[in-house]
């Protein structure tokens, strides 16, 4: 993601290339809802398929990139310690793809959907599910987990309003569902167990 964002940020600032680089990259790698119903023609033969993953490597600018990267690194390190690198990588890919699927099913946006937030929310979903499961196992209240889930939903609502509807909450939801589900399936056991 950094190898893509750095030149785009530099081009946005006028240091290298053209300020059209970011939009050109979006044309080829972002998730475009109109490609699904053929109201927009793909630029290359596999774009309709690849966009379900490539969108996660693109960001709207340095701030968007840093926010997603910090959370990916913070949560991802803990998840990788628990699951191992292979399962964590699979979880990230699955969450990004699930985020795109949810966006494709629920959104009517014609603009590009970009960002690693589906993967970020996959990590959040797996952590919350692990906490839920552990609390149930120890016969503790699950209210903190449910409160955390509600809090995440409220933050998404506030950001959606603050960003004038440009937040891809659908991708967040899809990623979170993938993470929650993973915690009960392939991500339910520690590595080596």
3-state SS, one letter per residue, for 47-93: HHHHHHHHHHHCCCCHHHHHHHHHHHHHHHHHHHHHHCHHHHHHHHH
Alpha carbon distance 66, 185 (integer Å): 30
Show pLDDT as tens, one digit a residue, over the chain (193 residues): 999 999 999 999 999 988 899 999 999 999 999 999 999 999 999 999 999 999 999 999 999 999 999 999 999 999 999 999 999 999 999 999 999 999 999 998 889 999 999 999 999 999 999 999 999 999 999 999 999 999 999 999 999 999 888 899 999 999 999 999 999 998 887 665 4
pLDDT of residue 193: 46
CATH code for 2-182? 1.20.1540
CB atoms < 10 A from the CB of 22, how many? 22
Q: Residue 190: what pLDDT?
A: 62
Predicted TM-score (pTM) of the model is: 0.92
What residue spans define the domains of the chain?
Answer: 2-182
pLDDT for 96: 98
Looking only at the bridges linking them, the beta strands covering 31-32 and 112-113 are antiparallel
């Amino acid at each position: 993601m950094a190898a893509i964002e750095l030149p785009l940020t530099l081009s946005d600032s006028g240091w290298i290339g053209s300020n059209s680089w970011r939009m050109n990259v979006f044309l080829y790698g972002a998730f475009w809802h109109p490609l699904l119903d053929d109201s927009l023609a793909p630029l290359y033969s596999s774009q309709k398929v690849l966009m379900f993953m490539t969108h996660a490597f693109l960001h709207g600018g340095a701030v968007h990139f840093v926010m997603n990267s910090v959370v990916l690194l913070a949560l991802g390190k803990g998840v990788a310690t628990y699951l191992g690198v292979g399962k964590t990588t699979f979880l990230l890919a699955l969450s990004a793809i699930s985020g795109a699927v949810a966006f494709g099913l629920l959104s009517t946006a014609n603009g590009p959907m970009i960002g690693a937030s589906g993967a970020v929310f996959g990590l959040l979903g797996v952590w919350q599910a692990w906490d839920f499961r552990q609390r149930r196992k120890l016969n503790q209240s699950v209210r903190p987990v449910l409160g955390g889930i509600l809090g995440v939903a409220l933050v998404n609502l506030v950001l959606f309003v603050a960003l004038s509807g440009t937040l891809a909450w659908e991708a967040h939801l899809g990623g979170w569902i993938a993470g929650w589900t993973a915690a009960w399936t392939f991500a339910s056991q520690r590595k080596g167990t």
